[in-house]
């Protein structure tokens, strides 16, 4: 059984075999902190906790919803599960492990279990050391794009997961599915937040 199947099977069992004590205690045993409230399709519990902590640090809840409120972490797991091939999936797992190993090394714990202060310090370091995306024209990067690395790739996915969610796209950004006309110059104040589409 490969990892993904194992996780799928676990999910199935969690759904149908609730109340089996040995199984529940097994899950609890491997999560010292708060348990996930969702069942990942691809990631392990610990890896999912990392993604949740990451998106929450990038886009926290304020007077507008945070990344966790719109289930950005759940969507990212789905993207890994459904759109990544096996090699890319293996790479994600390796990168998360590496990220956590570095966090442990520098701050004494895996990323999800760091204080907000330490999470911020750690991500700032990643931010400073990660290559950037080249500008794009019509869907293609301009010039030769060097790999942006795991941090910036995941930051980009976090933004996508958040801003393409229905809650943000419809209720927070300015949503106008059928504009009906093009006006080239109007006061920004008449629109407010960016157009969502």
Partner 1 sequence: MANFNIDAKQDMTYDAIVIGSGISGGWAAKELCEKGLKTLVLERGRLVEHVKDYPTMTLDPWDTELRGGLTPEQKARHPQGGRVGFIGEMNEHFHANDVENPYTEVKPFLWVRAHQMGGRSLLWGKQTYRWSDLDFEANAKDGHGVDWPIRYKDLAPWYTYVEKFAGISGEALGLPQLPDSHFLPPMELNCVEKHVKSRIEKDFPGRNMIIGRVAHLTEPINGRGKCQFRNRCDRGCPYGAYFSSNAVTLPAANATGNLTIRPFSIVQSIVYDEQTGKASGVRIIDAETNADIVYNAKIIFVNASTLSTTQILLNSTSNRFPNGLGNDSGELGHNLMDHTYRVGAMGKVEGFEDQYYKGRRPNGIYIPRYVNLQGGPQSDKFVRGFGYQGGGGRSNWGAGANEPDFGADFKDRMMKPGPWEFFITGFAECLPYHENKVYLNKDVLDKWGQPTLSIDAEWGANELALNEQIRIDAKEMLDRAGLKEVIDFDNKHEMGYGIHEMGTARMGRDPKTSVLNGFNQVHACKNVFVTDGACMTSSSCVNPSLTYMALTARAADHAVSELKKMNL
Collapsed DSSP state (helix, strand, coil) of residue 197? coil
Among 48, 51, 59, 96, interactor with partner 1 by CB under 8 A: 59
Tell whether residue 2 is a contact of partner 1 (CB under 8 A). Answer: no
Tell whether residue 187 is a contact of partner 1 (CB under 8 A). Answer: yes
Nearer to partner 1, 28 or 115 (CB): 115
What is the signed CA dihedral for 185, 188, 194, 197, rounded to 10 degrees? Answer: -30
Token pair for 6: 């194992």
Q: Binding mask 84-123 vs partner 1 (x if CB under 8 A, - otherwise)?
A: xx----------------------------------x--x
Q: Which range, of 1-9, 18-26, 32-40, 170-178, touches partner 1 by CB under 8 A?
A: 170-178
CB of 56 to partner 1, least distance (A): 10
Q: Give the long-range contacts of residues 95-99, CB within 8 A, separation 24 or more.
A: 95/150, 96/43, 96/47, 96/50, 96/51, 98/150, 99/50, 99/150, 99/151
Tell whether residue 194 is a contact of partner 1 (CB under 8 A). Answer: yes
- DSSP conformation letters of 31-52: -SSPPPSS--SSS-HHHHHHHH
Among 22, 29, 138, 147, interactor with partner 1 by CB under 8 A: 138
For 132-165, letters b (16+ CB in 10 Å) and e give eeeeeeeeeeeeeeeebebbbebbebbeebbbeb
CB of 147 to partner 1, least distance (A): 14
Could you list the residues that contact partner 1 (CB under 8 A)? 57-60, 62, 64, 66, 75, 78-79, 82-85, 120, 123, 127-128, 132-133, 135, 137-140, 142-143, 148, 152, 155-156, 159-160, 163-166, 169-170, 172-173, 176-191, 193-195, 197
């Amino acid at each position: 059984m490969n990892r993904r199947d194992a996780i799928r099977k676990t999910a199935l069992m969690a759904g149908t075999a609730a109340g089996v004590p040995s199984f529940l205690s097994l899950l609890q045993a491997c999560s010292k902190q708060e348990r996930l409230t969702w069942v990942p399709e691809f990631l392990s519990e610990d890896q999912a906790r990392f993604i949740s902590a990451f998106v929450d640090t990038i886009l926290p809840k304020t007077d507008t919803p945070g990344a966790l409120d719109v289930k950005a972490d759940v969507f990212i797991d789905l993207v890994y599960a459904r759109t990544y091939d096996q090699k890319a999936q293996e790479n994600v797992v390796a990168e998360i492990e590496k990220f956590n190993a570095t966090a442990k090394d520098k701050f004494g714990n895996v990323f999800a279990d760091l204080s907000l202060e330490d999470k911020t310090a750690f991500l700032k370091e990643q931010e400073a050391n990660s290559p950037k995306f080249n500008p794009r024209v019509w869907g293609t990067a301009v010039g030769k794009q060097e790999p942006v690395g795991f941090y910036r790739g995941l930051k980009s996915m976090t933004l996508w997961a958040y801003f393409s969610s229905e809650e943000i796209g419809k209720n927070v950004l300015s949503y106008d599915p059928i504009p009906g006309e093009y006006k080239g110059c109007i006061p920004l104040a008449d629109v407010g937040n960016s157009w969502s589409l």
